[in-house]
Amino acid sequence: MNPIILIVGAVAVVILGVGIVLSISGERGTVEKRLERFASTEREAVQEVAGAKRGSPLGDAFNRALAGRSFADRISTQLARADLKLTVGEYLALIVIAIVGVGAVAYVIGGRSIIFAVLGAVGGYFAPSLYVGFKQSQRLNKFNDQLGDTINLLVNGLRSGYSVLQAMEAVGHELPQPVAGEFDRVVKEVQLGLTLEQALQNMLRRVKSDDLDLVVTAINVQREVGGNLAEILEVISHTIRERVRIKGEVRVLTAQGMITGYVITFLPVVLLMILYVVNKPYVELLWTRGICGWAMLIAAGILIVSGFLIIRKIVTIEV
């Protein structure tokens, strides 16, 4: 049988199975589910937020089987930090689909080459995690950029007579996402029975920000020993604004180095793929004429990765 037909059939079966799992959905709007979403442990809360509008017997059973496992907790935390409404089971299914799909496409484009299929499968395996990392970085940068205005609003609310919780509620109503959603969730968790310290720690797990850690520490210390929280937050706001300004300047100055690193890293790989498509026998000499070609490929890969890591280390400046 034609290998292409087998690969396409396997992809179709995987997609059909995942579609059946995701299509059997039901509304989960009971009071218990809402309480669990905001007042449960961090792992359960993250999974509830990811599946708040979806549910299926098979999917729920798979998620319950994964619950409590360390790798599932790590995946759930990463998805929450990226603000992706996916359960752990759906994310793992997405990885399987990416491996099979990208591997099949690379197999067809590469002229039915097993090497291209393997490379495509490896790329498909890492693609979802790279996307999650990109979304995390994007959301964290946006959160840090909004944190200065957030603290100013908290300071103004405290000076006008608001409590800390009322000032956070004003932040949830007045500011854009993602800051508004995070502080609104803190308020709801406190209203449902959690302590403010625990709710703030939950937000700190979802948003891995050093600036936010500074704010949370200041609030917790003030609640224990007292003091003028408005003045403390005002000083922190000035520090955070200066850090954001300096980070922006550093990002501009190192942008050329970052682009250079990406170009010299991916250019040899893309060029090799183009040459393989244009002149397949010429490129196949690297792995069909003994160990010498394989040694060259391995050495080239090591040098490319090493160069990329060195460039990243040079242009990455901690502020």
| CATH code of the domain in which 185 resides | 1.20.81
The answer to whether residues 162 and 233 belong to one domain is yes
Q: Does one domain contain both 300 and 209?
A: no
Residue 126 lies in a domain: no
Of 105, 125, 156, the domain-final residue: 105
In a domain, 122, yes or no: no
Q: What is the pLDDT of residue 230?
A: 87
Q: Choose one of 242, 270, 295: the last residue of a domain.
A: 242
| 149 and 236 fall within a common domain | yes
Phi-psi region of 60 (alpha: psi -120 to 50; beta: other; left: phi over 0): alpha
Residues 280 and 223 reside in one and the same domain: no
Distances from the Cα of 275 to the Cα of 110, 118, 281, angstroms: 11, 18, 10
pLDDT at 48: 45
d(CA 138, CA 242): 20
Q: Render pLDDT for 220-241 as a digit per residue (tens, 0 to 9).
A: 888 888 788 888 888 888 888 8
12 inside domain: yes
Looking at the fold, whether 233 and 286 belong to one and the same domain comes out as no
pLDDT at 52: 43
Q: Are residues 213 and 259 in the same domain?
A: no
Q: Is residue 59 part of a domain?
A: yes
Q: What pLDDT is stored for residue 249 in this prediction?
A: 86
Kindly report, residue by residue over 271-292, the tens digit of the pLDDT: 988 888 888 888 888 877 778 8
Give long-range contacts, CB 8 A cutoff, 24+ apart: 121-124: 124/95, 124/98, 124/99, 124/100
Closest CA to 15 of 86, 75, 104: 104
Query: In this structure, is residue 156 part of a structural domain?
Result: yes
One domain, residues 169 and 190: yes
Provide the domain count of the chain: 3
Q: Which two tokens stand for residue 317?
A: 């400046």
Ranges of H-type helices in the chain: 3-23, 31-39, 42-50, 57-66, 70-82, 88-109, 114-159, 164-174, 179-191, 196-206, 210-225, 229-253, 255-278, 280-288, 291-315
Q: Is residue 41 part of a domain?
A: yes
Please tell me whether residues 144 and 198 are part of one structural domain: yes
Cα–Cα distance, 185 to 170 (Å, whole number): 12
Same domain, 101 and 166: no
State whether 235 and 314 are in the same domain.
Answer: no
Q: Which domain holds residue 312?
A: 254-319
Residue 117 forms part of a structural domain? no
CA 92 to chain centroid, in Å, comes to 14
Q: What is the pLDDT of residue 313?
A: 87
pTM of the model: 0.67
Same domain, 264 and 236: no
Residue 27 is predicted with a pLDDT of 38
The reply to whether 132 falls in a domain is no
Low-confidence ranges of the chain (pLDDT < 70): 1-69, 319
**Residue 10 sits in the same domain as residue 79:** yes
Q: What's the Cα-to-Cα distance from 230 to each of 25, 161, 283, rounded to whole Å?
A: 47, 11, 67
Cα separation of 272 and 117, whole Å?
A: 15
Residues near 276 by beta carbon (within 8 Å), at least 6 away in sequence:
110, 111, 113, 116, 283, 284
